[in-house]
Amino acid sequence: MKKAHLRAAFLDTIPVMAGYLFLGFGFGILLYQNGYGIGWALAMSLLVYAGSMQFVLVSLLSSGAGLISCALTTLLVNARHLFYGISMVDAYKGSGKKKPYLIFSLTDETYSLVSSHPAPEGMDRHSYCFVVSLLDQIYWVTGSVLGSAAGSLLPMDLQGVEFVLTALFVTIFVEQWLSTKNHMPAVIGVASTVVCLLIFGRDVFLIPSMALIAAILVMTRKAGRREEHG
Amino acid sequence: MDDRQAILSIGVVALVTIALRFLPFFIFGENRQTPPLIAYLGQVLPYAIMGMLVVYCLKDVSLTAAPFGLPELMGCAVVAALHVWKRNTLLSIGGGTVCYMLLIQFVFA
């Protein structure tokens, strides 16, 4: 692999690096405050590797939740990963030995990069995605271990730092909005989710939201086709 | 919770997450042609999901109690404005986050 390619991939991951170091750090601190040290932070960030779910996992651990409620909560919070998989099925075809890790490491942020950034010229797309995925997990693990090590000695008041995740998604949303003429999918995504949040409440709205989004997208596809043919 | 239970809980969360990530790839395998509907969803879903994630991040904001979601609204507005202006991802995220932290620590404290 060429140095120039690695450099290009690295530059693309910088926003995620900032977000993951911040967020991972916050996660490490939270975990430490709940009585779980560096080893736990390392294990969770290596094996679970799902940003928001790891925050939820801390509260599951501290509340002494049972295994079934752990499984159900994960299903609810992480069901959106099904969508990432569906949209990367074609892109990851033929990626061979890299494939298991490419799939395992498909977090929100990694997905946002591999689904939207083209590989630098001359670089194999799968290698590019692999480097991006691996760098992202390194940032996340580093951040959470540092946060855990920092423990109680907070350098400053970090209240509000969790907003970095919201800011990341808003940025990608705006970037996508500016880069396409068809704003229907974006509007459908926001509107469906808001409607489901109002109807179902904040604990269980994600799965109905996804069902509604998929249903509307499928219906608008048929409508679009009819117009083409009619 | 003792360590054994904690390890089991982490294991369950990891397994469910891995299962969710791998499932689509098992269903629409390496050799099979991806159905047109799935290919279509693959194209339009990224836009819709990012909208969903933005709402998901803001789900705990209360519009009926002070400060009525104002810090979040202002934070998002700063992010969006910075991004439309400069289209520099790092600047948009960093500027918006710092702005939000200042707002909740000093203005709406």
Predicted pLDDT at A229? 57
At residue A228, does pLDDT exceed 70? Answer: no
Do B26 and B39 belong to one domain? no
**Residue in B16, B56, B105 nearest the CB of A75:** B16
**Most confident of the ranges A154-163, A204-213, A217-226, B31-40:** A204-213
Q: Do A190 and B75 touch (CB under 8 A)?
A: no
Indicate the average pLDDT of chain A.
87
What pLDDT was estimated at residue B49? Answer: 81
Give the count of domains, chain B: 2
Is residue A22 assigned to a domain? yes
Q: Which residue of B has its CA nearest to A158?
A: B101
Same domain, residue pair B53 and B25: no
Phi, psi of A92 (to 5 degrees): -95, 5
Percent over 70 (pLDDT), chain B: 100
How far is it, in rounded angstroms, from Cα B6 to Cα A67?
10
Structural domain including A48 reads 3-156
Nearest one of A84, A91, A47 to B16, comparing CA atoms: A47
Does residue A169 contact residue B53 with C-beta atoms inside 8 Å?
yes
Which ipTM did the prediction report? 0.83
When pLDDT is averaged across residues B43-58 and rounded to a whole number, the result is 85
Flag whether A117 is in a domain.
yes
Residues B56 and B10 in one domain: no
The answer to whether the CB of A133 falls within 8 A of the CB of A17 is no
Same domain, B24 and B37: no
Which tops the pLDDT comparison, A175 or A195? A195
B62 and B92 belong to one structural domain:
yes
* Range A218-230 average pLDDT: 71
Residue A155 has a pLDDT of 58
| Sequence-distant (≥ 6) Cβ neighbours of residue A22 within 8 angstroms | A143, A161, A164, B97
Domain check: are B3 and B53 in the same one? no
What digits encode the pLDDT tens for the residues A104-120? 999 988 998 898 888 88
| Residue A135 C-alpha from the chain's centroid | 14
User: Which pLDDT band, with edges at 50, 70 and 90, does A224 fall under?
Assistant: low
> Does residue A213 form part of some domain?
no
Contacts of A40 in chain B (CB under 8 A): 6, 10
Q: Output A50 or B43, whichever has higher pLDDT.
A: A50
What pLDDT sits at residue A152?
A: 63
Between CA B30 and CA A38 the distance in angstroms is: 38
- Looking at per-residue pLDDT, the higher value among A159 and A146 belongs to A146
Q: What's the pLDDT at B59?
A: 87
Distance in Å, alpha carbon of A209 to nearest chain B alpha carbon: 8
**Model confidence over A13-35: pLDDT tens digits?**
988 898 888 888 878 887 887 88
- pLDDT, residue B94, reads 85
- pLDDT mean over A124-138: 95
Residues B10 and B54 occupy one common structural domain: no
Same domain flag for B52 and B92: yes
Query: A19 and B93 in contact by Cβ < 8 A?
Result: yes
Q: Which residue has the higher pLDDT, B70 or B29?
A: B70
Confidence check: pLDDT of A90 > 80:
yes
Is A130 domain-assigned?
yes
- C-beta of residue B100 within 8 angstroms of C-beta of residue A162: no
Q: Kindly state whether residues B70 and B88 are assigned to the same domain.
A: yes
| Residue B30 contacts A where some CB pair is shorter than 8 Å | yes
If asked whether residues B57 and B75 sit together in one domain, one would say yes
On whether residue A145 sits in a domain, the answer given is: yes
Task: Give the separation between CA A9 and CA B74, rounded to whole angstroms.
Answer: 32
pLDDT > 90 in chain A, percent: 41
Q: A97 and chain B: CB distance < 8 Å anywhere?
A: no
Interface of A with B in 157-186 (CB under 8 A): 157-161, 163-176, 178, 180, 183, 185-186
Distance, CA of B59 to CA of A62 (rounded, Å): 22
B38 & B74 share domain: yes
Asked if B28 has any chain A CB less than 8 Å from its own CB, the reply is: yes
A173 Cβ partners below 8 Å, 6+ apart? Answer: A186, B50, B51, B54
Let me know whether B22 and B43 are in one domain: no
pLDDT value of position B77? 97
State the residue range of the domain holding B21: 1-31
* Closest of B91, B107, B46 to residue A80, by C-alpha: B46
Q: Alpha-carbon distance B5 to A66, whole Å?
A: 9
Contacts of A181 (CB under 8 A, 6+ apart): none
What would the two tokens of residue B106 be? 């000093």
Assess contact for A148 and A28: CB atoms under 8 A: yes
Residue with tokens 């909740």: B104
- Cβ-Cβ contacts under 8 Å, A205 against chain B: 59
- Domain count for chain A, please give it: 1
pLDDT given at position A227: 61
